[in-house]
Copies of this chain bind each other. A is one copy, B any other.
Amino acid sequence: MMKLSDVSAILLKMDNIEILTHHYPDGDTLGSAYALCLGLQSLGKSARVILAGKPADKFNYLLNGVKQQDFKADNIVSVDVAANSMLGENEDKYIGRINLCIDHHISNSVTADERYVDGEAAAAAEIIFALLKEMKVNFTKEIADCLYTGISTDTGCFMYTNTTPETHKIAAELMEIGCDFEQINKAMFETKSRAKLRLERMVYDTLEFFCNGKCAVIYTTLEMQSKLGLGDDETEGLASIPRQIEGVLIGITMREKQGGTFKISVRTNGETDACEFCKRFGGGGHRAASGCAVDGSLDEVRSRLVAAAEEVLK
């Protein structure tokens, strides 16, 4: 495997760099991409982030300090993208052209000239933190905000099993640099619109148990969304609900998307492997938190998921 110093050397030789995020962009892919972009720009390079889908408004602060630069791209870097399909709308345009893939999903299968995958990192942002240090980037408050966002969101604010002592040490450093951890955590974890609140109440009514209570499923539909006037991104953050229930080993959240497909979030407890589960449906992720997309009607998709849960729990 490449060392971080190799990754640093590759990046230092690059210029006119496009940085790719995964689709349905979350705090880690966005925080990592904008931190890397800020770092590269601070070294005098041209760089920009290429989004796959519009991020939620709550992430707008990640753009603070990012210069809008016009250039013809010479190099392509992906961050926190685990598989080609995760590039979403950018897949066709970019696959085959990625020079460097930086990721923390051990299942990573992105087509790229060089891949740096550190499965020990709780967030891709941890890798970017170490990388920017290696590249001798001066850490600004803006970079610290981006990296803290990635780390905090991917660890459920240091709650999930992927958190390590290193995660906390990095958080301490980012706080000392002056990151707005209060505002970030408030925005990421502690702010609900009234519509979101109503959605949660509605989602509670969809809760069903399977496999003797070991599997719990909730869902949102486009109809529920439009009834409440909610955007796509506002149906996020529900995934932790089913796993929290006592006795549940597999918590499944189904979110209906346009075009007859459901975005599925799987959260597991104990030894049950969410990544294995999602691989059956062409997805992937981490042991305790993974995702996939499944086409079909609500009942069809749920039946397939519950059948898979029954097998996995056997």
Give A residues with C-beta under 8 Å from B.
156-161, 163-166, 168-169, 171-173, 175-176, 181-182, 185-186, 189-194, 197, 200-201, 204, 207, 240, 243-246, 269
Is A186 a contact partner of B269 (Cβ separation < 8 A)?
yes
Inter-chain CA distance A150–B264, complex, in Å, is 35
Query: A156: nearest residue on chain B (CB-CB)?
Result: B157
Q: Which residues of B are found within 8 Å of A204, using beta-carbon distances? A: 197, 200-201
Chain B residues with CB under 8 Å of A165's CB are 171-173, 175-176
Interface of A is mostly: helix
Question: Contacts A166-B172, A190-B243 given; 11 further ones with Cβ under 8 A?
Answer: A161-B182, A165-B175, A168-B171, A168-B172, A186-B269, A190-B240, A192-B244, A192-B245, A197-B207, A197-B245, A200-B204
The 8 Å CB contact of A192, one of B176, B193, B246, is: B246
How many monomers of this protein are in the complex? 2
Q: Min CB distance, A84 to chain B, in Å?
A: 32
How far, in angstroms, from A150 to B160 measured CA to CA in the complex?
A: 17
The reply to whether B159 and A164 contact each other, CB–CB distance below 8 Å, is no
Q: Which residues of B contact A173 (CB under 8 A)?
A: 165
List the B side residues contacting A158 at CB < 8 Å. Answer: 157-158, 171
Question: Measured between alpha carbons, how far is A197 from B209 in the docked complex, in Å?
Answer: 13
Report Cα–Cα, A172/B166, bound state, in Å: 7
Can you sample 9 A-B contacts with CB below 8 Å? A156-B157, A159-B190, A160-B185, A165-B175, A166-B172, A168-B168, A190-B240, A192-B245, A193-B245
Q: Which residues of B contact A185 (CB under 8 A)?
A: 159-160
- Pairs of residues from A and B, 7 with the lowest C-beta to C-beta distance, nearest first: A168-B172, A165-B172, A168-B168, A165-B175, A159-B185, A168-B171, A161-B182
A197 contacts across to B, CB distance below 8 A: 204, 207, 245
Contacting A194 at CB < 8 Å: which of B168, B175, B245? B245
Knowing A157-B159, A168-B169, A168-B171, the reply to whether A190 touches B246 (Cβ < 8 A) is no
Please indicate the chain B residues that have their CB under 8 angstroms from the CB of A169 in the complex: 168-169, 172
CB pair B175–A168 under 8 Å, yes or no, is yes
A185 to B: closest C-beta gap in Å? 5
Cα separation A165 to B181 with both chains bound (whole Å): 11
In the complex, the chain B residue whose C-beta lies closest to that of A181 is: B163
How many angstroms between the C-alpha atoms of A175 and B162 in the bound complex? 12
- The smallest C-beta distance from A241 to any residue of chain B, in angstroms, reads 9
Contacts of A194 in B (CB 8 A): 245-246
